[in-house]
Structure 1
Amino acid sequence: MNLELALRMTEAAVKQAFREGAAISVAVVDEGGNLVSYQRMDGAEISGPVLARGKAYTSVALRRPTSELAARTAPGGELSGLAGCGFICVGGGIPLWSDYGEGERVVGGIGVSGGTVTQDVACAEAAESVWRTR
């Protein structure tokens, strides 16, 4: 993950948000969950900075999209209890995978917050497409 790529990813998410009619915050983090790039659109919700970064971090830490986590972290789910540990278990976070010859590993994550869950996921997927075509 580098700054130039992270900036292109946040820009792709913002462009998708305009198409979706949403005002979002978007964060890109590296493999350690450290913020690399962040943008907040005019009119985005006050909670966006915390939730976008939290979704990106959660996707890296748990190595799965946050959209998969609600059912898994519910009582009786395989990851029951994690939602109360600071993880954001709502759609909009996607881990970024790369293959370095040692098998795939997570090298970063994208997190989007501010629209509906469907809009957040669409914006995160737009950013992920930049990653896949780098």
Structure 2
Amino acid sequence: MSLTNAKIQAALEAGLAKAAEIGCASSITILDSGRNLRGFIRMEGALLASIEISQGKAFTAASMQMNTADLTEYVQPGAPFYGLEVSHRHPMVIFGGGVVAKTGDEFVGAVGAAGGSIDDDVAVASAAVAALV
């Protein structure tokens, strides 16, 4: 499955709608399965830091093919992925808000959202993924 421009646009709109619904000014990043940028938007009022954080969350989810919220337990001292967040030239983000996009077993990309609490970011990214696949 390819991520068409129409799907990317629909996913950004779904993420924006969820962010507006929960009152969370967010940045939303969409990457394809090769970790290439396919879509990005920063809402008015979203923190400047949310730009790179959303991109880092999408990059991490795509690189590991795991939701970033699921990585947290594996990056603690003594855990198998300890140090992951500093293992790449591009920052890896190891807390919630990066969500993998799959159709069946096929990995198609990832969405990263940043701007609110972890729960807010997961909700925004999940809404975008639901529209993407």
TM-score, normalisation: structure 2: 0.91
Aligned equivalent of 1:92, options 86, 90, 97: 97
Offset at residue 125 of structure 1 (A): 1.1
Q: Which residue of 1 aligns with 2:119?
A: 118
What is the CA deviation profile of residues 48-101 of structure 1, one whole-angstrom value per residue up to 9, with x for unaligned ones?
1111111111101101000111221111112111022221111010111134xx
Mapped partners of 2:95, 2:48: distance in 1: 17
Matched, 1:25 2:27: yes
What is the CA deviation profile of residues 21-65 of structure 1, one whole-angstrom value per residue up to 9, with x for unaligned ones?
100000101111111011110000011111111111110110100
Offset at residue 4 of structure 1 (A): 1.4
Count of residues in correspondence between the two structures: 128
Q: Which residue of 1 aligns with 2:53?
A: 51
Alignment RMSD (CA, Å) = 1.1
> Does structure 2 conserve the Cα–Cα contact (< 8 Å) formed by 1:2 and 1:36?
no
Query: For residue 19 of structure 1, what is the amino acid of its counterpart?
Result: E
Aligned equivalent of 1:7, options 6, 9, 27: 9
> Does structure 2 conserve the Cα–Cα contact (< 8 Å) formed by 1:26 and 1:112?
yes
1:62-77 correspondence runs (5 A): 62-77=64-79
Mapped partners of 1:72, 1:83: distance in 2: 11
Mapped partners of 1:131, 1:5: distance in 2: 5
Mapped partners of 1:81, 1:122: distance in 2: 26
Mapped partners of 2:94, 2:4: distance in 1: 26
